[in-house]
A and B are shown apart, each in its own frame.
Chain A
Amino acid sequence: MNEKLHARVRHMREQSLIRAWEYRQRSSSKGVWHRFRRVLADAAEAWIIGEADAEMLEARGCLPHPVGREFDPPKRLFFLAAGDLETIIQRTQVPVRLQGELLLARSLVLIPHARREIRAEEQSTTR
């Protein structure tokens, strides 16, 4: 009997059980990183913005994406057209990647990919 191959099969079956558990937990906090990554996937650019600018955007009627409220402390994620960036005073562009600066940011402006329509879920976040 090839014990090495059997050990790999056991490991893969364990991984499969973990995946099934993660799927069952997808609506709870376990799934929030998936939902956050999903939102970021739609962004061509990401900009960390200041709290005052985030307040200003909300005051102008831009509602942050709901996934940000699932974090503690909450994040404010705004999808804006590229032209609207000019109104943001304090902004720093960061790569749209799984890296600390982006993941730790409290307020982000995301610019969607060009030639793509903003999904219905995103549109609903704008008053």
Chain B
Amino acid sequence: MVAGSEVPNLLEPDARSTLVVSQDVDIAVPVERHAAVKESLGAIVGLVRSKEEPSVWLPGEADLIEVNFIGWDAHSARVGETYVLEDAELPLLVFGHLSLLRPGRTLLIEDLLIPLPRPAGLMLEKLLTDRSGEKGDRDLLVALALLLVSEESDFAEIELLYKGLAPDHRYAVLSGLSTLSLLEPRMHMPDPTRHRPLVADLLARLERTEANR
């Protein structure tokens, strides 16, 4: 499943990809499907495995971008934990917050099936990612891009998932949203200054769930 900044692009009507200029593509590998994915690596064309970091595949052609394989654990006893799935050929960093992802639409583009997550879980995952500086800001702007492709049912799901988070994670989500509303525009990313009312509305909506606790 595609799990990174390309998701909002692909969720746009006709996957027109106008929201975010991605630097790479994250592919979330379910840990229980690790062996099957490993078997398929030989079919990859145009990318070569990084010698330094085997979970990263680097483009061999100018019109391709880097692919990162990351671990997605939604079912095992280690759900929510960040850990390394060791493997000589395809080691994976399993991100604990990716357990928020739920399978969503599958796109068919030029005979290629592309499974995507529902926006809600990925948006919360982006808000919870502990990165600072340029990368942290990009994560927040990807969260904004996901908001822009969300429908009311997605907002309801955001609220539901938010309610299930630990208190410090809920606080981090609110903190991330308030920071997002104050970011400067960046090239090739959605302009946060145009969508500040949307972010404020989501903040208020999530805060109401706190009041009802």
Chain A residues proximal to chain B, CB less than 8 Å: 1-2, 4-6, 8-9, 12-13, 15-16, 19-20, 22-23, 26, 34, 37-38, 40-42, 44, 95-99, 113-116, 119
Q: Categorize the interface residue count of chain B.
A: 20 to 34
CB <8 Å contact, B93 and A98: no
CB <8 Å contact, B204 and A37: no
| 9-residue interface stretch from B19-27, B143-151, B164-172 | B164-172
CB distance from A89 to the nearest CB of B (A): 27
Q: Of A8, A15, A41, which is within 8 A of B181 by CB?
A: A41
Chain B residues proximal to chain A, CB less than 8 Å: 52-55, 82-84, 86, 91-93, 130, 167-168, 171-172, 174-175, 177-179, 181-184, 193, 196-197, 199-201, 203-204
CB <8 Å contact, B184 and A97: yes
CB <8 Å contact, A41 and B93: no
CB distance from A51 to the nearest CB of B (A): 25
Identify the 10 closest CB pairs spanning chains A and B, nearest first.
A23-B168, A15-B130, A37-B178, A41-B181, A113-B197, A2-B91, A41-B178, A5-B84, A98-B182, A38-B178
CB <8 Å contact, A37 and B179: yes
Give A119 to B184 CA distance when docked, in angstroms.
25
> Using Cβ atoms and an 8 Å threshold, which residues of chain B touch A9?
82-84, 93
CB <8 Å contact, B181 and A40: yes
CB distance from B83 to the nearest CB of A (A): 6
Q: Which residue of B lies closest to A3 (CB)?
A: B84
CB <8 Å contact, A40 and B130: no
> Using Cβ atoms and an 8 Å threshold, which residues of chain A touch B84?
2, 5-6, 9
Q: Of A37, A98, A116, which is within 8 A of B197 by CB?
A: A116
Q: Which residue of A lies closest to B204 (CB)?
A: A119
Give A12 to B98 CA distance when docked, in angstroms.
14
